Structure 1
Amino acid sequence: MSDIEALYPFLYSGSTDLDAVMTSVRQSTVEKVDEIVTLRRTVLERDGERIAACAEAMAEAFAAGARLFAFGNGGSSTDAQDVATLFMNPGHMNGGAAHPLPAFALTADIAVVTALANDIGFEVVFARQLAASAFAGDIALGLSTSGNSRNLIAAFEEAERRGMLTVGLAGYGGGQMAELGTIDHLFVVPAASVHRIQEAQTTVYHALWELTQQALTRMEAGDGDDGA
């Protein structure tokens, strides 16, 4: 059975019975929903406290003037852009205005990405941008399903050299991102499906955003109490 057939068995059933096809579609959808719900629960139970600790560290960094730089390849590049949009233009949370925070996606400027890839090599497209723009105390957040993307590894190495707070989201067993041993906060989604990994990673970074917002609100309230 091919990978595509395993994902969408109803496309390969050979049946012309619409009711049978729709039954297969519903079954496939339910199975995928069950998988992601179980996976999200697993990540929460295993990493919930670590996610909260990471959000506290991010809030402290933002309060000190940090900027967030997000990066990834392929589908993870769109997640990186979602991260930047979420933190920079958050709208409202719990009935009140959320904190807009300085956040940038290193995949957004195609001129810079293609210039670096063409003139030097694709492995430096994120690291060179951090070298040019990031400072100690800023936040580097990288997403990968395999954990083995060479340009992410180079970016995390550059981020460590610059004294940045580093946050990584990976899948499978964490790959080379886990082997680095230097990423401050690494969250590995224990799954072998790229689709389920990315769905769970989306949940992780939305949780990080919400908990960071809550931590910043507590910090502001604390500052107000100190001055009373």
Structure 2
Amino acid sequence: MSFRTYCLDSARLLEATATHVSDARVEAAIDAMVAALTANKALLVCGNGGSASDAMHITGELVGRFLKERRALKAICLSSNPAVLTAWANDYSYETVFSRQVEAFGEPGGVLLGLSTSGNSMNVVKAFEEARRIGMTSIAMTGQGGGKLAAQADILLDVPSRSTPAIQQAHICLYHYLCEMVEARCAN
């Protein structure tokens, strides 16, 4: 496959994602994030592997800045503290490394944003279960169909693909849009 073909395939997936993930679902995610952040409730973000890096990227854009000078937003990455992750996983279970942190930092009215290309990462699924128990809104960014997260999420943003790298590429476009819109509405 040539680089040109690779890029064109990526562009076709972005076009399919723009059709599949409705404006209404994206707006619901933005509204939930803005409502939490303007009420000084935390936006918790988690994922594994490449999605962990995406979780860090999202929180970096919101705590720092995306396009506008503004106040810092209360976004916390659950994937980025190696002491918490490794101690809890070693002493208890890797399946509960995120739900334990949701228990610590989550609050009613807050939002949990979880990234999982398969939608089946058990530590993300368990975090969503804990978020629901607490009274948080949950937003899942996944691949096609949402996997197990589809049943747990209040808002599902599922990219119509089963290819991990392709899903991650579409996730970047999607979360950059979320960051831009959230920032615009929180900057005022």
Same fold by TM-score greater than 0.5: yes
Question: Rg: which structure is higher?
Answer: 1
Contact map agreement 2:62 2:183 (CA 8 A) in 1: no
Unmatched 5+ stretches in structure 1:
1-26, 221-228
| Alignment correspondent of 1:190 | 160
1:83 equivalent in alignment to 2:55: no
Q: Identify which of 4, 8, 14 aligns with 1:40.
A: 14
| Alignment correspondent of 1:176 | 148
TM-score, normalization by structure 1: 0.78
| Alignment correspondent of 2:29 | 54
TM-score, normalization by structure 2: 0.93
Change in 2 beyond 3 A, CA 1:28/1:98: farther
Whole-angstrom CA distance in 1 between matches of 2:159 and 2:67: 28
Change in 2 beyond 3 A, CA 1:91/1:57: closer
Q: How high is the sequence identity, in percent, across the aligned residues?
A: 36
Contact map agreement 2:67 2:180 (CA 8 A) in 1: no
**Partner amino acid, structure 2, of 1:56:** D
The superposition leaves residues 177-199 of structure 1 with CA deviations (integer Å, 9 ceiling, x where unpaired) of: 11x2x411111111121111000
The superposition leaves residues 26-66 of structure 1 with CA deviations (integer Å, 9 ceiling, x where unpaired) of: x5211111112111122222322321232122111111111
Q: CA deviation at 1:99?
A: 4.4
Aligned residues: CA RMSD: 1.5
1:104 equivalent in alignment to 2:79: no
The superposition leaves residues 204-225 of structure 1 with CA deviations (integer Å, 9 ceiling, x where unpaired) of: 11111111122334xx4xxxxx
Q: Which has the higher contact order (CA 8 A, sep 6+)?
A: 2
Contact map agreement 1:126 1:155 (CA 8 A) in 2: yes
Q: CA deviation at 1:173?
A: 2.4
Q: Identify which of 118, 127, 133 aligns with 2:99.
A: 127
1:144 equivalent in alignment to 2:116: yes
Q: How many residues get paired?
A: 187
| Alignment correspondent of 1:28 | 2
Contact map agreement 1:84 1:105 (CA 8 A) in 2: yes
Task: Determine helix, strand or coil for the equivalent of 1:203.
Answer: helix
Contact map agreement 1:55 1:215 (CA 8 A) in 2: no
Whole-angstrom CA distance in 2 between matches of 1:86 and 1:92: 9
Unmatched 5+ stretches in structure 2:
none
Task: Determine helix, strand or coil for the equivalent of 2:104.
Answer: helix
| Alignment correspondent of 2:136 | 164
The superposition leaves residues 161-187 of structure 1 with CA deviations (integer Å, 9 ceiling, x where unpaired) of: 011121110013211111x2x411111
